[in-house]
C-alpha cells in the first residue's frame, strides 16, 4: 500500500542510527561500547514503535561503505547483529514483529546469514510491525540491482518499487518512507533508501543513537504530524 496524505494506517519510519562512536568517546569508552549501547536503543525503539503508529521501521545497521572501518569494529558490529537475530526471535514472535534484512548477503558470514534466515522465517507472520534491518546496504547498489532484474524499458514507478523490493531479497515492494530520522547531529542521507525517500519528511536530531528512546521517537512523530505534505501539489489541492 502506498502512503497518502490522509491515510496513515501504513506508516514507514526509517532511521539512520548515528553517533555510537562519539557517544562512547565522550565517555572515555572504546567505540564498541557505543555500538553495544546502540543495540539496546534498537530494542527500546522497536518496542515503542507500534504504539506510536509506526507499521514499518527500517534501521540502518551497517552500510556497504562500513566495510572500510577497522577490522575489529566490523567484527563487533557483525557479532552484535548475530546476537540480535539469534536472541530477539522469540521476543519478535511474541510481539507480532516481522523481521527482515535488506541489503547484500553474499559478503556476510555463513552463521550470520543462517541466523538472519531463521529469524525471517520464524517471524514471517508478525503483523504489528515490520522491522527491516539494513545490513551491507547501499541504496545506489540496490537501485542498480533492481535495474539489472528487468529487461523492460517502460517501467512504471510501481514496477520499479517491486523490483527494488526483490533486489533487497523481499517479496514486498519497497515501501515509500514517510519519516526519515537521523540521529547524531549530521544532516545527510549516506546512501540510504534514496528511491523510497523521494517524499519523506526529514527529521535530524542532535541526540546520539545510544541515548535515543521512546520520547525521541514521539518527538519525531509529532514533528511529522505538524508538517504539511504536498507531494508537489499546491496547498489547496493537497488538502483535497
Tell me which residues touch ligand FPP (CB under 6 A): 17-22, 35, 38-39, 42, 59, 61, 66, 77, 80-81, 84, 133, 184, 209
Q: Which of residues 136 and 161 has its CB atom nearest to ligand FPP in the complex?
A: 136
Choice among 7, 18, 171, 172 that is catalytic: 18
Residue 132 CB, shortest distance to ligand FPP, in Å, is 10
Residue 107 in grid coordinates? 559478503
3-state secondary structure of 28: coil
Alpha-carbon gap, residue 151 to 140, rounded angstroms: 19
Handedness of CA 170, 197, 115, 99 (dihedral sign): negative
Which of 78/155 has CB closer to ligand FPP?
78
Per annotation, catalytic residue among 20, 65, 66, 106: 66
Q: Which long-range contacts (CB under 8 A, 24 or more apart) does 106-109 make?
A: 107/67, 107/136, 108/78, 108/135, 108/136, 109/78
Cross-sheet strand order for the sheet of 201-204? 97-102, 129-137, 56-63, 12-16, 179-182, 201-204
Give yes or no: 18 in active site: yes
Of 3 and 76, nearer to ligand FPP (C-beta) is 76
User: Based on CB atoms, which residue is closest to ligand FPP, 133 or 164?
Assistant: 133
154 annotated active-site? no
Q: How far is the CB of 133 from ligand FPP (least distance, A)?
A: 5
The CB-of-43 to ligand FPP minimum distance in angstroms stands at 8
The neighbouring-strand residues paired with 202 are 180
Q: What residues are annotated to the active site?
A: 18, 66
Amino acid at each position: 500500500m502506498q502512503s497518502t496524505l490522509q491515510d496513515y494506517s501504513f506508516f514507514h519510519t526509517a532511521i539512520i542510527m548515528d553517533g555510537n562512536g562519539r557517544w562512547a568517546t565522550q565517555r572515555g569508552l572504546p567505540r564498541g561500547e557505543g555500538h553495544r549501547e546502540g543495540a539496546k536503543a534498537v530494542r527500546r525503539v522497536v518496542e515503542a514503535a507500534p504504539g506510536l503508529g509506526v507499521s514499518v521501521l527500517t534501521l540502518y545497521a551497517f552500510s556497504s561503505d562500513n566495510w572500510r572501518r577497522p577490522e575489529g569494529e566490523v567484527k563487533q558490529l557483525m557479532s552484535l547483529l548475530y546476537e540480535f537475530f539469534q536472541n530477539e526471535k522469540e521476543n519478535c514472535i511474541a510481539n507480532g514483529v516481522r523481521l527482515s534484512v535488506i541489503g547484500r548477503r553474499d559478503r556476510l558470514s555463513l552463521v550470520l546469514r543462517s541466523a538472519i534466515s531463521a529469524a525471517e522465517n520464524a517471524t514471517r507472520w508478525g503483523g504489528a510491525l515490520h522491522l527491516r534491518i539494513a545490513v551491507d546496504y547501499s541504496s545506489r547498489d540496490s537501485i542498480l540491482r533492481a535495474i539489472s532484474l528487468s529487461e523492460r524499458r517502460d517501467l512504471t514507478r510501481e514496477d520499479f518499487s517491486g523490483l527494488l523490493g526483490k533486489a533487497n531479497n523481499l517479496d514486498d515492494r519497497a515501501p515509500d518512507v514517510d519519516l526519515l530520522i537521523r540521529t547524531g547531529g549530521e544532516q545527510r542521507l549516506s546512501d540510504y533508501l534514496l528511491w523510497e525517500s523521494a517524499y519523506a519528511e526529514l527529521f535530524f536530531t542532535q541526540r546520539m543513537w545510544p541515548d535515543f528512546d521512546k520520547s525521541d521517537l514521539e518527538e519525531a512523530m509529532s514533528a511529522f504530524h505538524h508538517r504539511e505534505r504536498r507531494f508537489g501539489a499546491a496547498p489547496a489541492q493537497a488538502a483535497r
